Structure 1
């Protein structure tokens, strides 16, 4: 599927090489789907569940032939979606639970990757709303307004009480126990300050049973630092392993203070 996604960018009526490569990749994908279908049918039959087998076969046959290998691009998440694979995944989860395999963690990991993909696409989300932000509140509102349609249990500024102080992550997904903290930086100095603030947040959120995973999104208005630099900084300072920094670059600027007359 990833190969098809990569080749799709080069498709054109004037480029026979990439058209042929794409057709070959699609043929391989179709063959893989057919093998998966046969494997699942064989497994269901082997465990003696004829009713489930009929249901699975009917669900598969309900997919129009032209859509069996069709891939749809999911905006902002940056992933391809396959109706066929979704049917296979549904039955895989059912069969795994029947056979004692815990798929809950797998599902959570996949959903967390979706969440991360949306955070990485923050600049595009903001741009599509025709906004040039001047602070982090404007940025995170754009992202939250999208997130609630993907994750119904998304919340804003949920409380984490630590002793006498209450901390509030900017955005959280309750079912994933995952939160995101946003920082807005209009200069290299602001980036440094934002990273310093994240270390304080780490201490404040540590030990929470409701929130176990964190993303630190720094929205920069220019390329002040690279992702690799910040990752190296996190490693050097031995930042908590459950925190992952994400640097993004988008339009925007701090509002200049008007001097008193």
Structure 2
């Protein structure tokens, strides 16, 4: 799917009408559940989650095989290569003591949304088993700024999440009123620590310094109403339009560089 989403129905082949069923779920104790048919992929997801919760939240699922032609048409290409190049970029930036954000954007398009310190995290587990909540990031104080950083931003940034980050918006520092949405799914929002490592929603905590970046989503998500309906703000019950940070560029393949 080219990014993380919280449910199986977000797999891009499934977004474009290919079924997940028949599928099977099993745990380490030998319990097995097989679903032969479901009225929709959304219904199947709920059935699988109910079984997963019953089995203690530690299960594996396998869906029906898909033809190679389906994978070629509806899978986001070169995601493993993209991960490799991003990892190398961050590693080399650390080694050379250069800016890891600049190194990331040398590999793929995107932009910095905010830099600051996490001052609030609300997190809970929903009835469906999702980690839901939001975090608030405040701008750094003058004595916390890096040498050469001349940022004058006074607003805070709020990032709601459902396993993954849903959108990023400026808020007033006093009443936390959201004043400007910067980016939403299906574009990818990533929170990075001081060493360039990604911080997931379950790892957010008070006091961490963080840089928030965003990268454009693949056209399978953004170039078709089917992608936006399942991968965009509407699916998550958000009353807002998709806000993008730029144009997607296909990642290069490591096979092309090292063949």
More strand by share: 2
TM-score by length of 1: 0.23
**Structure with the higher fraction of residues in helix conformation:** 1
TM-score, normalised by the number of residues in structure 2: 0.23
